[in-house]
Amino acid sequence: MSYISKPKVTHPGLPRNELGMTIREYEGGMSTLCAGCGHDSVTRALVQAAFELSIPPHRMAKLSGIGCSSKTPAYFLRQSHGFNSVHGRMPSVATGANAANRDLFFVGVSGDGDSLSIGLGQFAHAVRRNLNMLYVIENNGVYGLTKGQFSASADIGSTAKKGEENLQPPMDPCQLVISLGGSFVARSFSGDKEQLVPLLKAGLMHDGFAVVDVISPCVTFNDHEGSTKSYQYTRDHYHPAIFADYIPPSEEIRAQYDEGDAMPVTLHDGSQIVLRKADPDYDPGDVASAIEYLQRHRDAGEIVTGLLYIDEQKPEMHALNKSVAEPMSSLPFQRLCPGSGALKSLQDRFR
Amino acid sequence: MKPTDTSNPDYFHKVVDCQWACPAHTDVPGYIRLIAQGRFSDAYMLNRKSNVFPAILGRVCDRPCEPACRRGRVEEKPVAICRLKRVAADNRGDITDRLPKIPATKNGKKVALVGAGCASLAVANDLMPLGYECVMFEALDRPGGLMWTNIPAFRLPPEVLQEEIDMILNMGVDLRLNTPIESMQALLAEDYDAVFVGTGAPKGKNLEIPGRYDDEAHVHIGIEWLESVAFGHIDKIGDRVLIIGVGNTAMDCCRTSLRLGAKDVKVMARKPRGFFKASDWELEDAEEENVEIVINHSPKEFVIEDGKLVGMNFDLMEYDIDDNGRITDTRSVGEEFFPCDDVVLAIGQDNAFPWIERDIGMEFDKWDVPVVDRRTHESTLKGVFFGGDAAFGPENIIWAVEHAHQSAISIHKHCHGEDVADRLPDGMSLATVKMGIHEWSYSNDYEGAERMIVPHVSLAERFKQLNIEVELGFDAEQAATEVERCLNCDIQTVFAAKLCIECDACVDICPVDCLTITANGSEEELRGRLQAPATNLEQDLYVSGELPQTQRVMVKDEDLCVHCGLCAERCPTGAWDMQEFSLFHPHLKDELSPDAPGKFRKYGT
């Protein structure tokens, strides 16, 4: 951590977004994470994504659980809503918040411990109910906050800082989510903002549960030679399968794409994600082939990245539950709580 | 681009914009930090090492450092460097025992210094500690040259001037007042080992237009008139005064006129604002005193009635100015009469050497001034050196001081039969300022305050006497805030490519987006695709070698870096470090030291 806060001074040529705001107005407090932590780059990517989408900061809610990753929401969008929940229970809190006010942008930031160990049950069911939120997993393969024990995403054979080898098989959140029927699954790397930022933007605009698994190296406990989640290892085994370009509704697709390689996906608000295949074998719309592809490349020691699976047609939580279109938080009290007479007549229907 | 060669001292020196712009390369951030610590005497001595006259220059320096100051690009106004220098001078303790010691045994070399202005004084300051015998010739009855004759006392109090002159004279300079040198040939015939000419540019330019000589008593040449005022020969002027010209001398003339009783003073400028030679702050000070600056009026003639000056006619000018701010066409669109009682001509100065014979082997150029080597300051006549305005025409005090430092080296080499061109190059040292994981030995937090304004004596008060100093200087609190506005540009961001793991932490935290990790390219192309475009071509790009993991490069645009150190704080591997840059700009005493660069240390480090 630093003793000084980031100087308020800015580059005079700093661009402004549609709201007339600069990127600096999307920042949060000073990070107290270790210098060089991948999470701080994810923070920056989130700041950039929200800035580029011109999201009004007060229309965003940031949620997290416990862990290094879960400190992240303190470091971006200081003017947004936030909730730092119990370890692994963020999906439930997010579900409640989303149920109450479906008009907000929800961003959950979690880690491999928070989502794949203690919070796996919560996480899996949030996928099933297709909760409309961006769910970022800052995945570093260790419990950094408790000094570097292996997490559930540590690969077999990878070593801890002092040389101890991991023997248990890792969980791949992307394979897991696809198999659970998730609607948006992506993987990226904190050291590759060119790929990460468009994925975060697409995830924010996706109507449903958008999981972005970000390899985010732990410089303190897992950036050594025996690590498979280090900066060096990730770069050496990086395998981008699908590039995703996010195109807002106001813009036409200007770039030239080779036919057959490009797949435009239209989102509910009219914006588009144009998927560009780095690997022609890969079909990001097919569950079985996506899982097969991920497994095959994982066996080959490659880290497959990009927008790995997307189905824009799956209904999100409010659609599944046929809830009202307007946010419940703005409903007048009489409609929200119609009184004991209404409750009685409802109960009578089940007698 | 090729990796930046930071072993050349010029690279990091240029990053310290103020020090680079200062002709004497004064260590500005160094002395500002000393002021911040309340170490005023140390700050004064650090200044004196480079610029010899801190108290004088803290009031009247031309301040090339301030327009260069990075703070002026980051926000609107630069650090008040000059006025902080004055803070050091005003608050210092007794430094007598820190002045150079003068050896009792002389070295047997005798040097003639012609003129007792800033240049000659500064030469003596460098020569005396080495045992030279310095004989200084002055035509007037006081030493100080233009610092005394041309700078009004309300800007530079005589006691401040005298004190710093005395520091040098008390080294044992043989000062001969009222002794104009009338023949170089005669001087050379005496037993001097070298001659230094520091006679300034003593001839005020004239304006040869109709009527110029019809009432000479009321048409004055600026610098001569200021000198007469300084001597008390002139103590009044008419009610309505026109000043011709809009340089710094014009500013001194108009403000002096007000103090001699003028009621209506107009400064007549030929061109529009933006083309004025006067410094912005001197214009501000004059306008604060209700001097009117009239633009686009070119003098046509003096109007004389019954042998008496009654006014002047001016051509009303119109200019075409292109997008680059250059004048492309000029025309007169009319004529205007301005009544007046006196006119002061302040349109420039020329060198004049009527006392140097043209047949003694000294080459003169087409403007009839001696040919002088830019580096050694030697004329074509061996052993005769020129410095200050006498060397290359009118500049300013701080240039004269630097000329003097360089001339002193040449004089020494000449006196000892060495090659005057064989001089030590500039050098540098870099030392980390890391004190702890997130702690640096300098104040790295950004002070958001705007530039402090120096308090002035009230308008009513200041005209009561000719010599009331207008500026009061910063008070303690203002000084404490102003020093924190300095961005510590000498605390360099130094990058070691081989340590970088490309985690982006530095790029993410930089408040002014000056860092980028990217594929290498040509400079022009790189400048356009950095985190923020690098449009200031005067500021360098700092480009690393290939980074180990991706073979990309780290590029830093030096332009707006606020030297907050956050890049180094957020760097997990120490690839970025904050290192204090110390310039080794050799003076005469350094030339004598066998291990000069290594021996160099800053005060306070």
Per residue, the 3-state secondary structure of chain A, as one string, reads: CCCCCCCCCCCCCCCECCCCCEHHHHECCCCCCCCCCHHHHHHHHHHHHHHHCCCCHHHEEEEECCCCHHHHHHHECCCCEEEECCCCCHHHHHHHHHHHCCCCEEEEEEEHHHHHCCCHHHHHHHHHCCCCEEEEEEECCEECCCCCEECCCCCCCCECCCCCECCCCCCCHHHHHHHCCCCEEEEEECCCHHHHHHHHHHHHHCCCEEEEEEECCCCCCCCCCCCCCCHHHHHHCEEEEEEEEEECCCCCCCCCCCCCCEEEEECCCCCEEEEEECCCCCCCCCHHHHHHHHHHHHHCCCEEEEEEEECCCCCCHHHHCCCCCCCHHHCCHHHHCCCHHHHHHHHHHCC
Rounded mean pLDDT of chain A?
93
CATH code for the part of the protein at B491-584: 3.30.70.20
CB contact under 8 A, B508 and A191: no
Write the CA distances from B279 to A287, B273, B275, B276, B283, integer angstroms: 73, 11, 11, 8, 6
**Is the separation of the CB atoms in B466 and B94 below 8 Å?**
no
Chain B residue with Cα closest to A2: B438
The Cα A250–Cα A270 span in angstroms is 9
pLDDT at A268: 85
Asked if the structure places residue A66 within a domain, the reply is yes
| pLDDT of A331 strictly over 70 | yes
Query: What kind of architecture, by CATH, is found in domain B9-97+447-485?
Result: Orthogonal Bundle (1.10)
Pairs of residues, one from chain A and one from chain B, whose beta carbons lie less than 8 Å apart: 99
Tens digits of residue pLDDT in B364-398: 999 889 999 999 999 999 999 999 999 999 899 99
CB contact under 8 A, B445 and A4: yes
Asked if the structure places residue A246 within a domain, the reply is yes
CB contact under 8 A, B511 and A2: no
The Cα B474–Cα B428 span in angstroms is 32
**CATH number, domain at A153?**
3.40.50.970
| pLDDT of B482 strictly over 50 | yes
Long-range contacts of A56-59 (CB under 8 A, 24+ apart): A56/A19, A57/A25, A57/A26, A59/A103, A59/A104, A59/A105
| pLDDT of B599 strictly over 70 | no
If we measure between CA atoms, which residue out of B12, B2, B15, B4 comes closest to residue B426? B12
> CATH says B205-348 is which class?
alpha beta
The continuous run of DSSP H or E covering B317 comes out as: strand B308-321
Chain A nearest-CA distance from B36, in A, is 18
The Cα A76–Cα A62 span in angstroms is 9
CATH code for the part of the protein at B99-202+351-415: 3.50.50.60
Asked if the structure places residue A16 within a domain, the reply is no
CB contact under 8 A, A11 and B573: no
How many Cα neighbours within 13 Å face the side chain of B287? 10
CB contact under 8 A, A4 and B566: yes
Is the CB of residue A231 less than 8 Å away from at least one CB of chain B? yes
Residue intervals in chain B for CATH 1.10.1060: 9-97+447-485
pLDDT at A269: 85
- Largest Cα separation within chain A, whole Å, is 69
Query: What average pLDDT does range B282-300 have in this prediction?
Result: 95
- At residue A47's C-alpha, the angle toward residues B558 and A149, to 5°, is 100
- Measured between CB atoms, which of A1, A3, A36 is closest to B505? A36
Q: How confident is the model at residue B600 (pLDDT cuts 50, 70, 90)?
A: very low
Tens digits of residue pLDDT in B18-70: 999 999 999 999 999 999 999 999 999 999 999 999 999 999 999 999 999 99
Chain A nearest-CA distance from B527, in A, is 14
| pLDDT of A276 strictly over 60 | yes
Asked if the structure places residue A17 within a domain, the reply is no
Tens digits of residue pLDDT in B207-218: 999 999 999 999
Asked if the structure places residue A348 within a domain, the reply is no
How many Cα neighbours within 13 Å face the side chain of B231? 14
Is the CB of residue A191 less than 8 Å away from at least one CB of chain B? yes
pLDDT at A243: 86
Tens digits of residue pLDDT in B564-588: 999 999 999 999 999 999 999 999 9
CB contact under 8 A, B533 and A13: yes
Query: Which residue range is the domain that position A77 belongs to?
Result: 23-329
Residue intervals in chain B for CATH 3.30.70.20: 491-584
As a whole-number percent, the residues of chain B with pLDDT over 90 amount to 92
pLDDT at B324: 87
| pLDDT of B227 strictly over 50 | yes
Residue intervals in chain B for CATH 3.50.50.60: 99-202+351-415, 205-348
Is the CB of residue A349 less than 8 Å away from at least one CB of chain B? no
The continuous run of DSSP H or E covering B86 comes out as: helix B81-91
Tens digits of residue pLDDT in A93-151: 999 999 999 999 999 999 999 999 999 999 999 999 999 999 999 999 999 999 999 99
For residues A249 and B247, the model is more confident at: B247
**Is the separation of the CB atoms in A306 and A241 below 8 Å?**
yes
| pLDDT of B602 strictly over 70 | no
Q: Which of residues 4-43 of A touch B (CB under 8 A)?
A: 4, 6-14, 24, 34-38, 40-41, 43
Pick from A300-304, B422-426, B496-500 the range whose average pLDDT is largest.
Answer: B496-500
- Measured between CB atoms, which of A3, A8, A38 is closest to B503? A38
- At residue A50's C-alpha, the angle toward residues A249 and A233, to 5°, is 110
Q: What is the b/e burial string over A246-269, where b = at least 16 CB atoms within 10 angstroms of the residue's CB?
A: bbbeeeeeeeeeeeeebbebebee
Q: Give the count of domains, chain A.
A: 1
pLDDT at A258: 62
Q: How confident is the model at residue A260 (pLDDT cuts 50, 70, 90)?
A: low
If we measure between CA atoms, which residue out of B504, B487, B461 comes closest to residue B562? B487
| pLDDT of B243 strictly over 80 | yes
Asked if the structure places residue A82 within a domain, the reply is yes
pLDDT at A160: 95
Q: How confident is the model at residue A349 (pLDDT cuts 50, 70, 90)?
A: very high
Asked if the structure places residue A105 within a domain, the reply is yes
Q: How confident is the model at residue A256 (pLDDT cuts 50, 70, 90)?
A: low
As a whole-number percent, the residues of chain A with pLDDT over 90 amount to 82
CB contact under 8 A, B569 and A35: yes
The Cα B58–Cα B458 span in angstroms is 21
Can you tell me the ipTM of this complex? Answer: 0.91
If we measure between CA atoms, which residue out of A163, A299, A137 comes closest to residue A222? A163
Tell me the chain A residues in contact with residue B560 when contact means C-beta distances shorter than 8 Å: 11-12
| pLDDT of B601 strictly over 50 | no
pLDDT at B604: 35
Tens digits of residue pLDDT in B407-434: 999 999 999 999 999 999 999 999 999 9
Asked if the structure places residue A4 within a domain, the reply is no
